[in-house]
Homo-oligomer: A and B are copies of this chain.
Amino acid sequence: KEEKKDGAEQDNKDPTKKKERLLLKTAKGTRDYSPAEMFCRLHLENIVKDCFTTYGGSCLDTPVFERKDVLTDKYGEDAKLIFDLQDQGGEQLALRYDHTVPLARYLAMMGGTNTQAKLWQVGKVYRRDNPVMSKGRMREFSQADFDISGVWDPMIPDAELLSLLCTVLSKLDVGEFTVKINHRKILDGIFEVCGVPQDKIRAISSAVDKLDKLPWSEVKKEMTDEKGLDPLVADKIGEYVKYKGGPALLDQLTADTILMSNPNAKQGLTDMGLLFTLLKAYQVLDKFSFDLSLARGLDYYTGIIYEAVVEASAPPGFKAAESFASSQTENTAAPPPSKKKAKAGAEDEEIDETQVGVGSIAAGGRYDNLVGAFLAGAANNAKEAKKIVGIPCVGVSIGMDRIFALIWPKWVERGMRSKGTMVYVMSAGDGLLEERVGLVRELREAGIKTDFLAKTKPKLPTQFAAGEKDEVPFAIILGTDELKQGLVTVKEQRWELVDGKKVKLESTSKGTQVRRGELVR
């Protein structure tokens, strides 16, 4: 009786407060996944995990929350999106924002010896952003990360990782995808060559990052009006960042003597050359678009950066990046859609979901200084901190919710099953509960996914209906007389997709009699 009342009260300590009605819902930006959806999600997750282990990866698991100082100063502007836990008389804690920072913290804790490892993590991360649920943009969302740590020869881990990304995306059946790729050192070199002051480089870089959502004219305006850049410098940048392409673009840039005179740009372009050779050996080069407008928001990247996109990634009115197959060097940005500007932090800001794309479905890059930063931070003094040699890393995060948002409608359309049960054990007539349980037990022990109706004396049509709900392909029917002769009936059932609905195929067969003792061997 007491329980009946409980849910109704948000605070029953305060007797003056009127009982509030319970809001029966999940927290903003989070959702439940139903059994049918989870059947699809687990399928997708298994594909990803299989690829991860096939590439020699080992699983790592870190806690969902970290000591707050571990996450501090890692995410630039986005730090405001971190979920904090309430101080309940202990440590200051916060939910993890990604898998990369906890991984770097782990590697630093392992002693910072030069660990060479391939580590993967699949799990949820948390951001207090404005959710667009239908596009898989959530406050709680699932990321599958793969990272290669340690000093190796140049670009081999990077190529290994990008090959992995292409393999995963191909197997996930997301449709045509493109991996936009750039290099932080090339970008920095371009900015330096164009005359951007050092203290404006990160701000200008984050303006460039918006070129997938805004036309150049607006991005230029941000650079000059908001960020005080000389319009002539902005125009020079505009010349570079419109370039997209493949090895030919690399040749073009390598022939640019002004750019090549900049040490950063030269290093970046050398890396890209090596990378292209390896991507060719991995037979994935055609998936890539060398895209000078790609900048990526996070602070910690130091080398190559990349983002995988599909057609649904772009907001309506924008084309998704095109790969080498249809290489072009013109910016295809359409006029900006009439989209309400979402202000992060405002709790009830509405987003027009029809004007938002799925966004990139995977992204990552090289971050050579993050582990070292942790080690330096934990050092006894500045002198020791200076001697720290960190662990270079390169990694990728695959956005499982965005991929699910792409795949799920296809599953529904194809009428995929939502359960793997193979056998439904039934009784005709007298209930035969213990006999049913006995057979169910045997079948399950043999590894066969089996179910039955938890009723003492169920009617046969009720049992068939229960099995049909899950499209269970085999019915095994027990009857008192048959059992005396040591027999049971096995009946196969099939379904087909008619006008988008699963329909059971009619069958005149009464099934096949099989010896009970020979059913499981």
Contact = CB atoms under 8 A, between A and B. Distances in A.
Contact of A444 (B12, B54, B377, B454): B54
Q: Which of A24, A153, A447 has the most CB of B within 10 A?
A: A24
B374 A9 contact: no
B447 A54 contact: yes
Contact of A65 (B30, B35, B67, B118): B30
A14 interface: no
Nearest to A22: B377
A91 B28 contact: yes
Contact of A27 (B65, B277, B449): B65
Contacts of A34: 60
Nearest to A374: B7
Contact of A84 (B23, B88, B347, B373): B88
A32 interface: yes
B377 A27 contact: no
A67 B25 contact: yes
Contact of A282 (B119, B347, B441): B441
A378 B67 contact: no
B25 A385 contact: no
Contact of A378 (B7, B300, B447): B7
Contacts of A4: 369, 372-373, 376, 385, 388
Interface string A135-154: 00000100000001000110
B83 A61 contact: no
Contacts of A449: 53-54, 56
Contacts of A32: 60-63, 106, 109
Given A21-B378, A85-B85, A437 B41 contact: no
A233 interface: no
Contacts of A140: 63-65
A222 interface: no
Interface string A45-73: 00000000111101111111111111011
A498 interface: no
A9 B377 CA distance: 7
A510 interface: no
Contact of A24 (B25, B27, B39, B378): B378
A10 interface: yes
Given A3-B373, A26-B62, A89-B347, 18 more contacts: A6-B73, A7-B70, A7-B374, A10-B69, A11-B72, A21-B380, A24-B105, A24-B109, A24-B374, A25-B67, A28-B91, A38-B61, A54-B447, A54-B448, A55-B451, A86-B87, A156-B433, A163-B441
7 contacts: A6-B72, A8-B376, A9-B377, A23-B67, A25-B67, A32-B61, A282-B441
